[in-house]
Structure 1
Amino acid sequence: MDSYDVVVIGGGPAGYVAAIRAAQLGLKTACVDAFERGGKASLGGTCLNVGCIPSKAMLDSSEKFEMISHEAQEHGIEVTGASVNLEKMLARKAGVVDKLTGGIAYLFKKNKVTSFFGLGKLVRQEEGGWVVDAAGTEVLAKNVIVATGSSPRALPLAPFGGHIVENSGALAFDAVPGKLGVIGAGVIGLELGSVWRRLGAQVTVLEALPGFLMAADAAIGKEALKQFQKQGLEFHFGVNISAVTQDDAGVSVTYTEKDQEVTATFDKLIVSIGRVPHTAGLGAEAVGLGLDARGFVQVDSHYRTNLPGIYAIGDVIGGAMLAHKAEEEGVAVAEMLAGQAGHVNYDVIPWVIYTSPEIAWAGLTEQGAKDKGLTVKTGQFPFSANGRALGHGDPRGFVKVVADADTDRLLGVHMIGPNVSELIGEIVALMEFGASSEDLARTVHAHPTLSEVVKEAALAADKRALHM
């Protein structure tokens, strides 16, 4: 039986990063992963194969079509007869995914990580570690890292199949739906709804919660809803779905909104109501691995489970289900196993929604800070007063800074506008070092750039914005 210092079960962002980092630190490492795409092994998990990467590829392609079809004239560019070759668009998306998943296989080879394709299962504890069934081959692991990820949560009334799909199915329609229903106004629902709306679908979003983007700052949520409705997305909040039926023609959804029962029909229905931990086939019950009431693997602050030598990271332990959060946990646990002090600062994990306009934030919302008993000051500055945004032709949105009124420490920064997925990185770096709004305001930002809006918002927190 081959033995390893570390066996990682799962090859998504948490798992493959943990495996690479462990190998870099001199630990003999193997990774077991069962994900396949197109009948072939494909590392990278949901994120690279059917989530983050392909959705962004489709978002970019559909945004280019929208720009050419509806926005180019503003720039003096006359385009007629633009059309979508969906087959080619999907093939481009697949090519991007192939390149990145193949890159992980290369990195495994480069770092001497042994890769097993198939299910990984905890079998038993023996002297020297844990026996793991690695795709049918038993190996001995001194340490095991469980990184099995998550799966889409199904609506009991609407099991996946036929015209009812989750994120992966929503990225592979063979034609643009005439009418598209989306259950869930979260990140996935908004991004996928945006893709097909740009390509010509009539999109209706049904949300059980009474408000929009309630995890974001209230000002951001209000502006985002206004922008999405302007684009033609239709939203219904506080709905209670009572029946979902489908036939060859499509899907019917019956729901109650403001005490009125409504039945809507769609060609396709995307269900995006969250994700659940994926532990099927792991052997958790057989070995006594601790799971909570919702099925997440229970860990302490060092990612240790209740079983010695077994750790868990990523979506399977809950918290923010974000690829970058999972990656950082992978690095942290690998460094801990090598005797280093791995750490993840959960207070400054960035959140991004890749719609148009983009939405991004890090840290506390204004209300969240007040709920903690903090006295806050805020500054806000619009992209409409920024030269680069105006030249780019997209002056929508703003940046909002939330700082402690007593210490001036940055508590959170919230953005909606062009390329804010890139602008949020500056905020994360500053907050990691405990920066103040004055630090941000005094930092020189190149002109003309979108980043000047971030600086101006910080200046506005002390009522001294220069360009408004």
Structure 2
Amino acid sequence: MNTIHTDVAIIGAGSAGLSAYRAAKAAGATALLIEGGAHGTTCARVGCMPSKLLIAAADAAHHARHGDAFGVHVDGAVRIDGHAVMARVKRERDRFVGFVVEGVDALPAEDKLTGYARFIDDRWLMVGEHTKVHAKAVVIATGSSPVMPATYRALGDRAVINDDVFSWDDLPKRVAVVGAGVIGLELGQALARLGVRVTVLGARGRVGPLTDPAIRAYAERTFSEAFRFEPRANVQAAVREGDEVRLRYVSDTGEVLEDTFDYVLVAAGRKPNIGGLGLRDTSLELDADGMPVYDAQTLQAGTHPVFVAGDANGVLPLLHEAADEGRAAGANAARVARDEQAEPLERRAPLAIAFTDPGIAMVGARHADLAPGSFVTGEVSFEDQGRSRVMLRNRGLMHVYAERATGRFIGAEWIGPDAEHIAHLLAWALQMKLTVADMLRMPFYHPVVEEGLRTALRDAALELA
């Protein structure tokens, strides 16, 4: 049995874990990065990057089919080579993963340990069956995993998660997507554009992360034109029949429907990877789900020398948030290792994007969290917005929210063209605490899609006046 002593032990070498390691080292602490699985981060291996590769292929197919309106004609049918699509997805995915692995390989050998870690007590870890680690502070950065309800687990390999999609050698003919969140909508639309017959089954009317009723209704209508979309479906049965799955569900209208698919892609959310950590062998306070109770500002579990960062805490499962939390947790773990107090994390402006077409974005406060009467709403439709119409991408509706008392911009929800880029402008404006008047003094070039944002801001200014 080997024994290692370190200032900071980081469990998990994903986006949060790597950031925590670098921050702890930068703070002058000794640090040990522990990983039991494959290196490469969720983003590079099964998340952000492979999904965007699939979406890029889907966009190419969509544009090839829709040139007629511009007078650009493709003679004959557009042919999708599923093998070639998936070969590029996997080839480029492996390239991105390789960059991350190279970075880990470059770290000093004495700072890395392979094996699954579990707590013996607050400061002692057992890694595999071969090494004990004593740390003055521990960062839990174990990430998260897709949820697979028992109903679908019984389907065996006919029920897949997003991780499995990127291992396909070819595209299937029929896929049911269970879950209308960001992952379900992105992959559902991409597969539909690549010629797969797709049905997306949501629950409780969810359409991505949207909470504004008008924006959500617009998005529902838009996606219903792209694939079979049942945002309020109640799945009653899922039965495997050979290499097919037969689903029975009740639609929003109360109609009982049945259909057969090659796969069921389950996108029903994610859960933190904390089950194998042995947290009940520590003195940490745990909630009903076995999650350490921690301070969202410092990421510290009570007064214990344990920090929880990234997807493992289940709060904001986004790469940039995981990296920020990892840096804060690593720096705070180094402070606690020196018997100093942890410091609060300075969070950036909330920002969420779904890479659908049209895109979905949310910045700042959600509509659902705003107190009635405390804010005004500015609106713009992109259907007649100049540049959007020029490109025939004129589908979308945006709401911007401004604080009634101060005129300060506080949030926005929308679906529309170039949402991913406009979202960054609004996130910067929010973080700088700009008012609507301040934003309208900024330059807007012509003709650009951002002029639609200016229309919404002008509408908000009228409401404030």
SS at 1:158 equivalent:
helix
- TM-score normalised by L of structure 2: 0.88
Counterpart position of 2:212 = 217
Q: 1:460 to 1:111 in 2, by over 3 A?
A: farther
Counterpart position of 2:401 = 402
Counterpart position of 1:147 = 141
Q: CA deviation at 1:403?
A: 0.5
Counterpart position of 2:338 = none
Is 1:380 the counterpart of 2:376? The answer is no
Q: CA deviation at 1:291?
A: 3.0
Counterpart position of 1:65 = 61
Matches within 5 A, 1:218-367: 218-231=213-226, 233-257=227-251, 258-301=253-296, 302-306=298-302, 308-339=304-335, 341-345=343-347, 348-367=349-368
Q: CA deviation at 1:333?
A: 1.7
CA distance in 2, matches of 1:248, 1:22: 52
Contact kept? 1:24, 1:111, Cα under 8 Å: no
Q: CA deviation at 1:166?
A: 1.1
Query: 9, 20, 27: which is aligned to 1:7?
Result: 9
What CA deviation, in whole Å up to 9, does each residue of 1:165-196 have, x standing for no partner?
Answer: 11112333333332221111111111111121
Unaligned runs of 5+ in 2: 336-341
Counterpart position of 1:415 = 414
Counterpart position of 2:339 = none
One-letter amino acid of the structure 1 residue matched with residue 232 of structure 2: G
**Deviating more after overlay: 106-115 vs 350-359:** 106-115
SS at 1:328 equivalent:
helix
Contact kept? 2:382, 2:397, Cα under 8 Å: yes
**Structure 1 vs Structure 2: percent identity of aligned residues?**
28
SS at 1:304 equivalent:
coil
Query: 96, 101, 113: which is aligned to 2:97?
Result: 101
CA distance in 1, matches of 2:23, 2:449: 34
CA distance in 2, matches of 1:195, 1:288: 46
CA distance in 1, matches of 2:308, 2:129: 19
Contact kept? 1:398, 1:453, Cα under 8 Å: no
SS at 2:67 equivalent:
helix
Is 1:172 the counterpart of 2:167? The answer is yes
Q: CA deviation at 1:330?
A: 1.1
Counterpart position of 1:84 = 80
Unaligned runs of 5+ in 1: 37-41
Contact kept? 2:185, 2:208, Cα under 8 Å: no
Counterpart position of 1:451 = 450
SS at 1:157 equivalent:
helix
Contact kept? 1:20, 1:108, Cα under 8 Å: no
Counterpart position of 1:118 = 115
Contact kept? 1:170, 1:192, Cα under 8 Å: no
Contact kept? 1:132, 1:140, Cα under 8 Å: no
Q: CA deviation at 1:18?
A: 1.8
Counterpart position of 1:39 = none
CA distance in 1, matches of 2:378, 2:151: 45
**Deviating more after overlay: 106-115 vs 170-179:** 106-115
Is 1:202 the counterpart of 2:204? The answer is no
CA distance in 1, matches of 2:136, 2:354: 39
One-letter amino acid of the structure 1 residue matched with residue 13 of structure 2: G
CA distance in 2, matches of 1:385, 1:25: 53
Counterpart position of 2:28 = 26
- TM-score normalised by L of structure 1: 0.88
What CA deviation, in whole Å up to 9, does each residue of 1:253-280 have, x standing for no partner?
Answer: 1223455433322121111111122113
CA distance in 1, matches of 2:112, 2:73: 52
Q: CA deviation at 1:121?
A: 2.3
Contact kept? 1:314, 1:327, Cα under 8 Å: yes
SS at 1:463 equivalent:
helix
CA distance in 2, matches of 1:117, 1:90: 31
Higher-RCO chain (CA-CA 8 Å, sequence separation at least 6) = 2
SS at 1:2 equivalent:
strand
Q: 1:108 to 1:29 in 2, by over 3 A?
A: farther
Contact kept? 1:180, 1:266, Cα under 8 Å: yes
Contact kept? 2:121, 2:283, Cα under 8 Å: no
CA distance in 2, matches of 1:35, 1:85: 33
Q: 1:98 to 1:28 in 2, by over 3 A?
A: farther
Query: 11, 16, 19: which is aligned to 2:18?
Result: 16
SS at 1:30 equivalent:
strand
**Deviating more after overlay: 114-123 vs 321-330:** 114-123
Query: 132, 136, 149: which is aligned to 1:138?
Result: 132
Contact kept? 1:117, 1:135, Cα under 8 Å: no
One-letter amino acid of the structure 2 residue matched with residue 272 of structure 1: A
Contact kept? 2:211, 2:368, Cα under 8 Å: no
Contact kept? 2:306, 2:333, Cα under 8 Å: no
Counterpart position of 2:441 = 442
Contact kept? 2:246, 2:260, Cα under 8 Å: yes
Counterpart position of 1:158 = 152
One-letter amino acid of the structure 2 residue matched with residue 30 of structure 1: L
Q: CA deviation at 1:462?
A: 1.9
Contact kept? 2:284, 2:304, Cα under 8 Å: no
What CA deviation, in whole Å up to 9, does each residue of 1:206-237 have, x standing for no partner?
Answer: 22214544743222212211211122x11224
What CA deviation, in whole Å up to 9, does each residue of 1:20-39 have, x standing for no partner?
Answer: 33333333222222333xxx
CA distance in 2, matches of 1:453, 1:23: 46
CA distance in 1, matches of 2:242, 2:409: 54
Q: CA deviation at 1:361?
A: 0.7
CA distance in 2, matches of 1:455, 1:2: 58
